[in-house]
Amino acid sequence: MRKNAVKKETVNVGAELFAALDMLETDKGIPRAYMMEKIEAALVSAYKKEQGAANVRVALDPEKQTVRMFRQKTVVETVENEAEEISLEDAQAISLRYQIGDVVENEVPFHFGRLSAQAGKQVIIQAIREAEHSNIVREYEKKHEEVMPAVVTMVDDATGDVTVDTGTSEAVLPRSEQIPGEHFAVGDHVKVFVTEVHRDGRGPVVTLSRTHPGLVKRLLELVVPEIQEGVVLIKGITREPGSRTKVAVLSRDPDVDAVGACIGSRGMRIAEIVEELRGEKIDVVLFSEKPEEYIASALSPAKIREVEFDGERSSTVWVDGDQLSLAIGKEGQNARLAAHLTGYKIDIRGRK
């Protein structure tokens, strides 16, 4: 009667265990096979902690929904370690088929003390945590250098850092990666750019940004169908976050205006991106393989009279006097961005 009671308890424990594993797989995406391996290791660890040095094997059977543990001893001629060895005579008393070197298994019940059970529990909890972290890293790796919609869940008034929920997990948008001058409140919807994903000893490390030029690039890809279709190409992009961005584009179809496609009818497409970037100006300019044309376009909205080349990557740009300040821009910003975009040093001079 006692054997039946023990057997019934074991089956119940197995049923509860596999139900929990199915739930973990469904709700958290943690593979059942992975958790079974970790649980087997946890049970072995707990048994050894309780019984001292011993070889044991744990068998989890999802079909029968049973959990069984077997003490293992190696058949030897002379027993030197009773915890791990059994004599040939004793082994053959169990079964004549045993020979030297074989392993004899004897099923043992689960009777763990509090400390051993706690140790096993910690192994399982750690396994779940590691699996969750791995899942988070995999999801973010799929979004590496992509835009993710997020919702602000917390604002740290002391540091300015913002915690956002991306749907995969919560992550921090550091103050240094926020557009200068923008402010957030809990519940705000915001788009973030995933710049880096890796793991350290504490778990997943995800770097989010709203200052990276890639954010503008991906936003353009989202709102401009011609870019999605590959008709319009983004050839270059440079940015001073919160102030101004310059994007160079090129059309592969002579009937499609690359700049017009990005700006959209009545400027609606580019306005959507400007709104997301809190008013940051975006200059969409035409890329050209001819350096003089590219430099002139990059200095838009200024009108350029002539571009001269002083060296391999150096140029002098001549503009009318009334275009000089426009070409240079406030604090030299327009000229600076144009130089970054084209890769040429640009010296702007005015003519009357």
Residue of higher predicted confidence among 193 and 133: 193
Please state the CATH superfamily assignment of the domain spanning residues 213-351 in this structure. K homology (KH) domain (3.30.300.20)
Predicted confidence (pLDDT) at residue 101 exceeds the cutoff of 80: yes
* 48-62, 83-97, 234-248, range with the lowest pLDDT: 48-62
pLDDT reported for residue 114? 60
Reported confidence tier of residue 51, pLDDT bands at 50, 70, 90:
confident
Reported confidence tier of residue 296, pLDDT bands at 50, 70, 90:
very high
Reported confidence tier of residue 7, pLDDT bands at 50, 70, 90:
very low
- Average pLDDT taken over every residue of the chain: 87
DSSP-derived letter for residue 303 is P
**What value does the mean pLDDT take over residues 54-59?**
83
Query: What is the C-alpha end-to-end distance of the chain, expressed in Å?
Result: 110
- Supply the angle between the helices 114-142 and 32-51 in degrees, to the nearest 10: 150
Hey, CA dihedral for 241, 242, 243, 248, is it positive or negative?
Answer: positive
The pair of three-digit structure tokens given for residue 174, joined into one six-digit string: 């550091």
SS3 track for 16-33: HHHHHHHHHHHHHCCCHH
Query: pLDDT tens, 58-100?
Result: 888 888 888 888 889 999 999 988 888 899 999 899 999 999 9
- Closest of 171, 195, 191, 194 to residue 182, by C-alpha: 191
Predicted confidence (pLDDT) at residue 10 exceeds the cutoff of 90: no
What does the alpha-carbon distance between residue 245 and residue 218 come to, in Å, rounded to a whole number?
Answer: 13
Residue of higher predicted confidence among 16 and 173: 173
The pair of three-digit structure tokens given for residue 62, joined into one six-digit string: 């999802």
Q: Does domain 2-134 have CATH number 3.30.1480.10?
A: yes
Tell me phi and psi for residue 81, to 5 degrees: -135, 100
* Per-state percent for the chain, helix, strand, coil, to nearest 5: 40, 30, 30
- Closest of 339, 154, 323 to residue 238, by C-alpha: 339
Amino acid found at 237 = I
190 to 36, 162, 302: CA distances (angstroms):
40, 11, 33
- Could you tell me which CATH class the domain 147-209 is placed in? mainly beta
Reported confidence tier of residue 118, pLDDT bands at 50, 70, 90:
low
Reported confidence tier of residue 117, pLDDT bands at 50, 70, 90:
low
What does the alpha-carbon distance between residue 208 and residue 197 come to, in Å, rounded to a whole number?
Answer: 9
187 to 168, 179, 182: CA distances (angstroms):
17, 18, 15
pLDDT reported for residue 100? 94
- Closest of 330, 325, 304, 301 to residue 316, by C-alpha: 304
pLDDT reported for residue 14? 64
* 113-127, 158-172, 198-212, range with the lowest pLDDT: 113-127
Query: pLDDT tens, 174-202?
Result: 999 999 999 999 999 999 999 988 777 66
DSSP string spanning 244-290?
Answer: EEEEEEEESSTTS-HHHHHH-GGGHHHHHHHHHTTT-EEEEEE--SS
Q: What percent of the chain has pLDDT over 90?
A: 57
Amino acid found at 300 = S
Predicted confidence (pLDDT) at residue 123 exceeds the cutoff of 50: yes
Neighbouring-strand partners of residue 108: 69
Residues 174 and 192: beta-carbon distance below 8 Å? no
Domain residue ranges in the chain? 2-134, 147-209, 213-351
Amino acid found at 320 = D
Residues 344 and 248: beta-carbon distance below 8 Å? no
The pair of three-digit structure tokens given for residue 153, joined into one six-digit string: 């869940």
Residues 175 and 146: beta-carbon distance below 8 Å? no
